[in-house]
Amino acid sequence: MSNTTPAPKGQPAGLRALFMTEMWERLGFYLMLGILLLYITDTERGGLGFTTKLAAEIYGTYMAFVYFTPFLGGMIADRFLGFRRSVFIGGLLMAGGYFSLGIRSIETFYLGLVLLCLGNGLFKPNISAMVGNLYAPNDPRRDSGFNIFYMGINIGASLSALLSAPLRNLWSFNTAFTAAGVGLLIGVAILTLNWRKLAAADRQSEKSAEDISFGQVMGTIILPAAVFGVLGYFLGGRIPFVASTIGPITFGFIVGMLPVMVYFGLIVKRANAEEKPGLAALIPVFVAGGAFFMVLHLSGGLMTVFAEHNTDRRAEWIPSSMDFYAQKAMPSYYGNADAKLPRPDKQVLLTVTDEGEAMFGARILSQDLVGQLDAAPGVEVLDTDTYDVPEDEAFLVCKVFPRDQIAISTGTDAHGVATTSVKVEEGTEPLDEVLLARTIDGTHVPVLLVSKHTQDAVYAKADPGVSPLKPGTYVRLINAEMLTGLLNPVFVVLLTPVVVAFFAWRTRIGKGVTTARKIFWGMIITTAAILVMAFGANLGQDGAAKTSMIWMVLYYAIITVGELCLSPMGLSLVTKLSPKRLVGLMMGGWFLSTAIGNKLSGFISGLEPTTQMFVIIAVAILGVAGFIFLMLPRLDAAIKKYGA
């Protein structure tokens, strides 16, 4: 009779609940991420109207903290709250963050970002830890369980763009953010309904006297970083060169990271002879991880700008039955559009002041302006209480307020670039909701308020021989977030089996690719992806003309291969090359490198997506690949030494 314990069949009962909870959380995260920069910069569909440079600073700072707070969140759960409670609280905080973004207010916008950073810190690391806790150390089901869990991440990411596009096409950015909050609540509800079933996954790690305490982390890492960061922010705002180039936010972040990097450097320097090779080998891993995520997370920044403004997004192929997936082209789309593309009929563009254009773009009109428009020949102000607004025109409905309740801020951002923002005090009730229209051929047709400058740009490059659009019709586009948010997760699903099969084949023929070389090739492939974008930008004359969507499709196909080579190796090597007493801290180093990469991604996203910009990024990533290549002998030796 054998004494071997039979392998358990199927997956643990709690995996399905964690899969569903994570799927809903990732749906909300990627939905928000795909439209965040668009919302901050938009001046035609109810956005905040900030400049791209300021928006990119906000985006980069948000992404940096979103990826660093999990380091603290993991420690808080392990030492104080427990995993279930941390995930529950984190989910509620993130839901609150999305609901805050669902209110069109600058104050609630910043509040929402803070809540999302805090909530993500508690949620993200701990739900992954719970999945791991479902299995015994040598349980053969562990790898397949994590594969199922990560499938939930990709399903959520894929669904995010499919959900956000119709929500903001039919209604608004804020409606999409609110939907993300509802999704989070569904995820939290699933967690709550399976609370007892997940008790086995809520166990803390064994404590050791060598563990670095939470107090030590706060005192030696977080507090110095916070002090240096605040000082750097205020100092950066007072140094003209810094204020006009990288800006005080980015400068403060860089200064704040200095004591943290020094701390991690000292850990390596002071390590004993047995520990030092593994810790030293993590340096190129951190560099590669930071550089890669800097590029990958350009999706929500620079790539979003390129998709929105420099890409020919015409999508007449979208069937009429799915018209809610077709975004209607607004006046700014035509500035660099093909000369043969039909322009709007001039009857539907009504010239107003710059202030009037800004108010219309925010869907906030003053009572005085509405009165002037109502008195203008041929213009009708349709009250939504008495006029049944067609579903596909609802996004043009404006709220009316007394002029003294509307704050219009004009000035310059941290980079000296002009910016206009329109807002009303939170809680202020509108006097009315209206749709501006003309009656053309017996039909109410919405009109768009534009400045003289915008109107001139619409027709500047138009071919006079091409007839204008029929009033009330629009050029149909695919949303920018459908390109930047949908392609990567779809390619992850499609290409993962291919990449896994390729490496398995290399192993079978005796030419296996080492973990270190996978990282190296991941960086080379990432460089190739960026060069594809450089070629596409060059064909579009750096924004003078729109370029084909095919370049973005190729970019995401290639960079996904790079991601599959590099990304899975990072955290795995951190756990295997670190001494047991420093695993948690070195995980923090990985999150830190990712946070720095994300902040750099935000900085780059504030620049123009030109051929030169993409070439500079490609050269930088190629330089990192060269560094990894030089470090391959040391990396391979460390991996062999520690059995990684």
Phi-psi category of residue 300: left, alpha or beta, with phi > 0 → left and psi -120 to 50 → alpha: alpha
d(CA 94, CA 122): 10
DSSP state of 310: I
**Domain 13-204 classified CATH 1.20.1250.20?**
yes
> What is 271-327+480-644's CATH number?
1.20.1250.20
With cut-offs at 50, 70 and 90, classify the pLDDT of residue 8. low
Residue 1 — pLDDT band, cuts 50, 70, 90? Answer: very low
Task: Determine whether 265 is exposed, middle or buried from the number of CB atoms within 10 Å of its CB (0-12, 13-18, 19+).
Answer: exposed
| Banded pLDDT at 176 (limits 50, 70, 90) | very high
Residue type present at position 182: V
* C-alpha–C-alpha distance, residues 84 and 191, integer Å: 8
User: What percentage of residues in the chain have a pLDDT greater than 90?
Assistant: 59
CA distances from 484 to 302, 551, 608 (A): 10, 12, 17
pLDDT number for residue 414: 44
Q: What is the mean pLDDT of residues 10-26?
A: 89
- Tell me whether domains 13-204 and 271-327+480-644 share a fold: yes
Average pLDDT of the residues in 622-627: 96
Mean residue pLDDT of the chain comes to: 89
Over residues 523-536, the mean pLDDT reads 98
At 516 the pLDDT is: 87
Amino acid at position 591, single letter = F
Residue-wise pLDDT for 269-280, tens only, equals 887 878 888 888
The single residue listed with the structure tokens 């699903």 is: 493
Three-class SS of residue 273?
coil
pLDDT digits (tens, 9 = 90+) for 378-431: 999 999 999 999 988 999 999 999 998 998 887 654 444 566 788 888 778 999
Please check the confidence at residue 446 and state whether its pLDDT lies above 90. yes
Nearest to 53 by CA among 306, 450, 418: 418
Q: How confident is the model at residue 2 (pLDDT cuts 50, 70, 90)?
A: very low
Per-residue model confidence (pLDDT) at position 417: 52
Extents of the domains making up the chain: 13-204, 271-327+480-644, 330-474
Residue 551 has pLDDT above 50, yes or no: yes
Tens-digit pLDDT profile for residues 230-268:
999 999 888 888 887 788 888 898 899 888 888 888 888
pLDDT over threshold 60, residue 20: yes
Angstrom distance (rounded) from CA 397 to CA 435: 5
What pLDDT digit, counting tens, does each position of 274-319 carry? Answer: 888 888 888 899 999 999 999 999 999 999 999 999 999 999 999 9
pTM above 0.85, yes or no: yes
Check residue 216 and give its pLDDT.
77
3-state DSSP call for residue 478? strand
* Cβ pair 579, 543 in contact under 8 A: no
pLDDT at 257: 87
The percent of residues above 70 in pLDDT, for the chain, comes to 94
CA distance 330 to 463: 18
Range 175-202 average pLDDT = 93
Q: pLDDT, tens digit, for every residue of 186-195?
A: 999 999 999 9
Tell me: pLDDT of 42 over 60.
Answer: yes
Joined together, the tokens standing for residue 274 give 């047995």
* Of 163-167, 403-407, 449-453, 575-579, the least confident: 575-579
pLDDT for position 93:
97
d(CA 153, CA 162): 15
